[in-house]
Amino acid sequence: MIRDDVRVEVASWERDLADLRAVREAVFIVEQNVPPEEEWDDHDARALHVIARDAAGTPIGTGRLVAPGRMPGEAAAIIGRMAVLAAWRGRGVGAAIVRVLLEQARRSGYAQVELHAQTHAEGFYEKLGFAPFGDIYPECGIPHRSMRIVLPSRIAPDAAPPGPAVDAVVLVADGRDSARDAIRRILAETCHEVAILTRDLDPDLLDVPDALDAIKRIALSGRRSRVRILVQEPRKAVADGHRLLALAQRLPSSIELRVPTEDVDLQYPSAFVVGDRGGFLFRPLGSRPDGEGSTHAPGRHAQLLDLFGRMWERSAPSEDLRVLGL
């Protein structure tokens, strides 16, 4: 599981060159003895790069995506130069980098993504959905095997084309009103899917007309609509008579509520809202409205969505919500 104090984001080859080189030199040139002239190539300047940083901003991992046709004989987009510093391996950093790269590939409309996996890492990539093909071959003296993943269609048949790209806006919540504004903005820019982790449905933030209207719109947005809400303290939400519960009763096929069943999830201290256009608001303490987020931050967005997905799979309907027929 990736830690909350690690962030993964799209990088700039020019701006972040020193940090990208630091990671790749440590892993490939120093650790794996790859000749420098084979590590750096002409694709770097044109590729999309991703970088992982720790809480202090120190680079700890990277990877890149090369567009189809940029490498001889390749028809798919190519993930490559995957590197995570030794001290950070086994902590979810590599998986988060791959997921961000796949999301960027999907957003760009690529049908499939391939990579050249070092053979010892085949199992890692298989868990992320890649399938091996072809024979084992050497690259820089290291055994590799090609792997491929087919991406879902960028736009579902009943979905409207995405609007024009906009610059990301940093969201800062330092009280109830600003938290409401941030959530309102995320929900307003959400098309079909939203994931919400909350202690008690946050009546001050979600049991308000703007939030309820936005959630209703998302729930009625078409076949792809899905509102998932994890509630750590459902009994309190029921006792408060939260209007979102009544809305979920009317739209049970689109609005799903579950309760964590494992202590690690029940004791998770934070809360967040994640939309489907790259926006999120993360509150370190779920009992307080204060937090921060962005209207579009693919790296952090992917981390939170991955965390939510794993918690969701470990959760179940609660007796308190069953009383209401949810």
User: Taking the domains of the chain in order of start, what are their residue ranges?
Assistant: 7-150, 170-323
At residue 11, does pLDDT exceed 70?
Answer: yes
7-150 folds as Aminopeptidase (3.40.630)
Cα–Cα distance for residue pair 265/312, rounded to 1 Å = 10
The pLDDT tens digits for 216-235 are 999 998 877 899 999 998 88
What would the CATH number be for the domain defined by 170-323? 3.30.870.10
CB burial readout 103-141, b (16+ within 10 A) else e: bbbbeeebeebbbebbeeebebbeeeebeeeeeeeeeee
Q: Output 317 or 125, whichever has higher pLDDT.
A: 125
The pLDDT tens digits for 162-200 are 334 446 889 999 999 999 999 999 999 998 899 999 999
Q: What is the pLDDT of residue 167?
A: 63
Q: Are the CB atoms for 208 and 201 separated by under 8 Å?
A: no
Q: What is the pLDDT of residue 4?
A: 56
Q: What is the pLDDT of residue 155?
A: 38
Phi, psi values for residue 91, rounded to 5°: -120, 20
pTM over 0.75: no
Q: What is the pLDDT of residue 3?
A: 53
The pLDDT tens digits for 238-251 are 776 788 888 888 88
The pLDDT tens digits for 29-79 are 999 999 998 899 988 988 999 999 998 889 999 999 998 764 444 468 899
Cα–Cα distance for residue pair 123/97, rounded to 1 Å = 16
Other Cβ atoms less than 10 A from the Cβ of 246: the count is 12
Give me 317's structure tokens: 């309907």
Phi, psi values for residue 309, rounded to 5°: -60, -40
The pLDDT tens digits for 250-278 are 888 889 999 999 999 999 999 999 998 88
At residue 26, does pLDDT exceed 90?
Answer: yes
